[in-house]
């Protein structure tokens, strides 16, 4: 403190301020959307933050370099070399995170489960991830075994294969379980098979309309192991234009090309789809889970179609009966006597239908 030696003013300043302890700084959380499975900054690996399984995971990022290694570089949609401003496929959120880390050193970043690349236009048909066990009916390799009677011999007939979804392209909407070719398609006398429904159906174009083979208005039609010698009624002589589907593979008969997808190998494996008339006959030789067979129509309507049916793996058949009646009153065997009634027989249904398509559905 200063000592005055002459009259004057002495000033003393006492600092009695109180300061609160500094609080911990807060970090921003940025939720962004990017394309899936982008390359990292080096371009040699996949950026881990863009893997679909890591969507929704919060990453603490401390630098711009770490950001682009985790989420890749920000991408912007361009047309003719110019960025399209405001495009929904541009990664503005990732750019915002990159700019923030230019002035700070920590931020939490979460990538939403959205793949911006799926929003971009493509010249190829998009498809989802194929699940394990998916069946693929390859119609380009299948043989449909159609023959027509020329008047003197059976001749292998060309057939158009239609794979359009019912109600689109050259296939009408489903009606009564069938989807006929559109009438604007093909010419009179042509044959077509529609493979995009559960019932793979054969059609003949009569005049300007497509008629299901075997239905009223079409030529006589039947399924047969080998060349028939009579029409489908078994007695009428063959007439020019009659048609049949050959069931024996030899000689260009019906042969369905079917494959099953293995997610471990990432490949389709060929499987057999033999032809049978009933589930019972098929089960005698195909009783494992996933076995498939081709069942052609044997109903009285005679319609020309087949479907693919898959075994569910069920193996048990239980047969039960009521109490056996006393035999003391039976004096003569009756061949029509039944000890088992339909209601007392419980037989599982191990075969279910599967759909067919050229392209595996995903």
- pLDDT exceeds cutoff 60 at 211: yes
Q: What is the pLDDT of residues 63-91, one digit of tens each?
A: 999 999 999 999 988 888 888 888 888 99
Domain boundaries, the chain: 29-119, 129-323+336-360
- Reported residue count of the chain is 362
Selection from 248, 213, 212, 203 nearest residue 228 by Cα:
248
226 to 213, 241, 242, 247, 251: CA distances (angstroms): 18, 17, 14, 7, 9
- pLDDT exceeds cutoff 50 at 345: no
Q: In this structure, are residues 61 and 83 in contact, taking their beta carbons and an 8 Å threshold?
A: no
Least confident interval from 210-214, 307-311, 319-323 = 319-323
Mean pLDDT, the chain, whole residue set: 85
Q: How many Cβ atoms sit within 10 Å of the Cβ of residue 119?
A: 13
Q: What is the pLDDT of residues 225-246, one digit of tens each?
A: 999 999 999 999 999 999 999 9
State the average pLDDT over residues 192-209: 96
Helix (H) or strand (E) holding 64: helix 64-71
> What pLDDT, on a 0 to 100 scale, did the predictor assign at position 155?
96
């Amino acid at each position: 403190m200063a000592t005055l030696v002459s009259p004057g003013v002495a000033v003393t300043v006492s600092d009695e301020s109180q300061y609160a302890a500094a609080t911990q700084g807060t970090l921003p959380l940025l939720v962004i959307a990017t394309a899936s499975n982008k390359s990292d900054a080096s371009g040699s690996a996949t950026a881990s933050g863009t893997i679909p399984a890591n969507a929704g995971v919060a990453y603490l990022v401390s630098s711009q370099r770490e950001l682009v290694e985790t989420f890749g570089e920000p991408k912007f949609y361009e047309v003719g070399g110019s960025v399209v401003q405001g495009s929904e496929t541009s990664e503005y959120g990732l750019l915002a995170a990159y700019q923030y880390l230019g002035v700070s050193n920590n931020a939490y970043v979460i990538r939403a489960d959205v793949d911006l690349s799926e929003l971009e236009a493509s010249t190829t048909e998009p498809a989802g991830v194929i699940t394990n066990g998916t069946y693929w009916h390859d119609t380009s390799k299948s043989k449909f075994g159609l023959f027509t009677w020329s008047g003197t011999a059976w001749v292998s007939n060309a057939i158009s294969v239609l794979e359009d979804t019912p109600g689109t392209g050259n296939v009408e909407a489903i009606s009564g379980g069938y989807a006929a070719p559109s009438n604007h398609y093909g010419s009179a006398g042509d044959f077509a098979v529609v493979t995009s429904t559960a019932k793979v159906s054969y059609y003949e174009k009569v005049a300007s309309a497509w008629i299901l083979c075997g239905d009223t208005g079409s030529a006589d039609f039947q399924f047969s192991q080998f060349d028939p010698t009579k029409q489908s009624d078994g007695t009428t002589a063959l007439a020019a234009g009659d048609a049949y589907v050959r069931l024996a593979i030899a000689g260009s008969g019906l042969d369905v090309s079917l494959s099953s997808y293995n997610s471990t190998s990432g490949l389709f494996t060929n499987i057999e789809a033999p032809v049978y008339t009933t589930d019972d006959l098929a089960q005698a030789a195909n009783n494992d889970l996933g076995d498939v067979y081709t069942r052609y129509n044997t109903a009285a309507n005679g319609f020309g179609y087949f479907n693919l049916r898959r075994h569910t793996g069920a193996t048990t058949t239980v047969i039960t009966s009521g109490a056996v009646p006393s035999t003391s009153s039976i004096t003569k065997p009756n061949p029509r006597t039944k000890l088992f009634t339909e209601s007392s027989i419980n037989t599982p249904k191990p075969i279910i239908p599967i759909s067919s398509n050229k392209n595996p559905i995903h």
